[in-house]
Structure 1
Amino acid sequence: MPYPSFPPRRTRAGAVAWLWQRLAGWPLARLWRLARLAGALVYRFSRREREVTRRNLAVVYPALAARERRALTRRSLRHSAATMLELGHAWMAPPARVAAGIIAVHGREKLDDARRDGRGVIVLAPHFGNWEVLNFWLSSHFPFTAMYEPPKMTALDPIIRHGRQRQGAALVPTNARGVAALLKALKRHEAVGILPDQEPGWGSGVFAPFFHRDAYTATLLPRLVARTQARVVTGVARRVPGKGFAIHFLDADVRVYSTDDVTSATGVNACVEAAIRLDPAQYQWEYKRYRKVIEEQQGRADYRDFQLY
């Protein structure tokens, strides 16, 4: 696959692409040191990321003392900064170097056994650790298909596509055509990836508990399972700071196989919770996971006051 041309460096997209390319040559230990500085700056100057993270953590871990919650907020923003800084590594560094940074793989047999039994595998990949490294590993070892929505900076689309597809992954749109492609891949006993913790549009999900608080959760999974009998696992690339990544594949909560949308969605959220327990600081807590609860109950998309909390 030919490498895409970069947008002009004088543009915002060009500056981002240039930074990814420069950081792709840095060792992971150096990127982690930079992330410690970047995370501290985000905590100090980015009120939005700091407050959303802090308030999400207040919902999820109400028993934490304020001091402990501040410390966890700092660690979480440090890991989120690391993920952004590592994009060049995942997408642009030589594949042998990216592979060398994956220092352990736990649970691969779950995927191998399913395919040996003539079943496709649905990998639930929450926003934990570095999900681009997980994509790299999966597409290096299995026929792998994932949904893809182009970025808001359209000039970056060819670069991101190239980075995600360079090991053979197939990217499909987030619409009915993409769902059809996922079904075909599963019927070929291949692996597909789904983001289980991204809020879908109204009408494409149900409310189900996520850490004991309802969150709007997609209902795509039970439809895929019902039509393909695929096996479901949770997959993450857990960061080992300064050293690399450990891939983990976890058994899915049995409720994901239910034909009832709410039961299945509850199982999906339980899978995300299990991944988070590996290291709560590595989850992307700055995402407004409970936004649609507020939209529904308050009738407006105001996430700033967190009145439901």
Structure 2
Amino acid sequence: MRHSLLQQFQATGVAALWRTLANASPATLWRLSRIAVSLCQPVLRRERAVTQINLDVVYPDITASERSCLARDSLMHSTATMLELGFAWQGKTEKVAASIVEVHGRELLDDARAHGQGIIVLAPHFGNWEILNFWLSSHFPFTAMYEPPKLAALDPIIRAGRERNGAKLVPTNPRGVAALLKALKRCEAVGILPDQEPAWGSGAFAPFYGRLAYTATLLPKLVSRTNARVVTGVARRLPGKGYALHFLAADERVYSEVEVTSCTGVNASVEAAIALDPAQYQWEYKRYTKTPQEERNDPDFHRYRLYSSRNMQKTLGKKYR
């Protein structure tokens, strides 16, 4: 009962924050994020540690000081995304639309539809992916998978925000996959998250910045059963100005029938999007939690865990100049 009341209190506070910020401008929200991330540093210990560990893995060739600065900037962008959710979901539609000041690569989408192809949009956790959803559902019949939030009271708010321009949300189960396939066969657009670690049995290990990451095999399943075109889509934040949408042709390996090869192409496509501005990727996500050693039941698989308590504490204890 106490836990339920706490969750309700948290959901009420988050919903109130979104309502309050819904009509703020992107410039104001960016200024607020810079203030918020500074104030919240003491309570962002887990996020800071995971971000730094991930950056140490993917950018070993830059200095520790440069990685530390990148970690700080990444957390600031992630904070901005959280503050911008009310704007993306509840802000006036004309105001949100006006905040999208650049669109690059739209011809990839238009060309696919002109050739009678469905479109699979790989939407990594970069910039503000809710702005990307807003634009896609404004311009195309669009279907995306959706998993209800842990704070159940926020579910109707999130659903309403994501569906307000006509997007169709489907569950993350076989019924949802079937809905994606039907949408693709109607030559519509669907969105999938390429950088979330799936449950055991739903993925394959493929390199992501040189380290094996357990990657969902949903994409090769969709591609093998349709004639869909695959593109990567992101909404890059232009601090103080708005957003620039980028649609990039996916790595050709995504079309392979070999799951590991296709997953390698997925991760390469995500890397290409991140290269637009590495600070705007959500590095605080534990992308490398599962390991090949755990999959093959190696009795010492714990030794290979990147985010062990020991590594987290060690990382937090580092001092960068």
Corresponding residue for residue 174 of structure 2: 176
Q: Contact 1:39 / 1:80 at 8 angstroms: preserved in 2?
A: no
Measured in 1, the distance between the counterparts of 2:39 and 2:78 equals: 12
> Which residue is equivalent to 1:3?
none
In structure 1, C-alpha distance between the alignment counterparts of 2:215 and 2:84, rounded to whole Å: 28
Cα distance in 1, alignment partners of residues 110 and 177 from structure 2? 23
> Structure 2: how far apart are the matches of 1:144 and 1:32?
28
2:309 aligned partner: 304
Structure 2 CA distance for aligned equivalents of residues 171 and 106 of structure 1: 25
Measured against aligned partners, the alpha-carbon deviations of 1:148-205 in whole angstroms (never above 9, x if no partner) come to 0000000000000000000000000000000000000000000000000000000000
State the match for 2:197 in structure 1: 199
Deviations 1:248-272 (A, max 9, x none): 0000000000000000000000000
Q: What residue is the counterpart of 2:207 in the other structure? A: 209
Where does residue 125 of structure 1 map in the other structure? 123
Residue of structure 1 in register with 2:54 after alignment: 56
CA contact (8 A) 1:134 1:236 kept: yes
Q: Specify the alignment match of 1:256 in structure 2.
A: 254
Contact 2:8-2:151 at 8 Å conserved across structures: no
Q: Give the aligned partner of residue 4 of structure 1.
A: none
Give 3-state SS (helix, strand or coil) of 1:129's partner: coil
Residue 237 (1) aligns with residue 235 (2): yes
CA distance in 2, matches of 1:136, 1:154: 22
Flag the 1:9–1:221 CA change in 2: closer, same or farther, 3 A. Answer: closer
Distance in 2 separating the partners of 1:65 and 1:13 = 40
Distance 1:122 1:303 in 2: 35
What code does the residue aligned with 1:72 have?
L
- Hey, what does 1:100 align to over in structure 2? 98
| Aligned residue runs from structure 1 range 210-225, under 5 A | 210-225=208-223
Structure-2-length-normalised TM-score: 0.91
Distance 1:275 1:73 in 2: 18
Q: CA deviation at 1:44?
A: 4.2
Q: Deviations over 1:36-88 (max 9, x none)?
A: 11222344441100010001000000012111111101000000000000000
Partners of 2:7 and 2:206 in 1: how far apart?
44
Equivalent residue runs for 1:278-293 within 5 Å: 278-293=276-291
Check whether the contact 1:9–1:18 (CA below 8 A) recurs between aligned residues: no
In the superposition, the TM-score normalised over structure 1's length comes to: 0.94
| Identity in percent | 68
3-state DSSP of counterpart to 2:310: coil
Letter in 2 for 1:24: A
Change in Cα spacing, 1:253 to 1:11, as seen in structure 2 (3 Å) is same
> Which AA in structure 2 matches 1:227?
R
**Alpha-carbon separation, structure 2, partners of 1:174 and 1:10:** 25
The alignment yields a C-alpha RMSD, in angstroms, of 1.9
Contact 2:23 2:92 in 1 (8 A): no
Which residue identity lines up with residue 244 of structure 1 in the other structure?
A: G
Aligned residues: 302
The 1:10/1:147 distance shift into structure 2, 3 A limit, reads closer
Q: Which runs of no fewer than 5 residues in structure 1 stay unpaired?
A: 1-6
- Contact 1:208 / 1:215 at 8 angstroms: preserved in 2? yes
- Given residue 93 of structure 1, which amino acid in structure 2 is its aligned partner? G
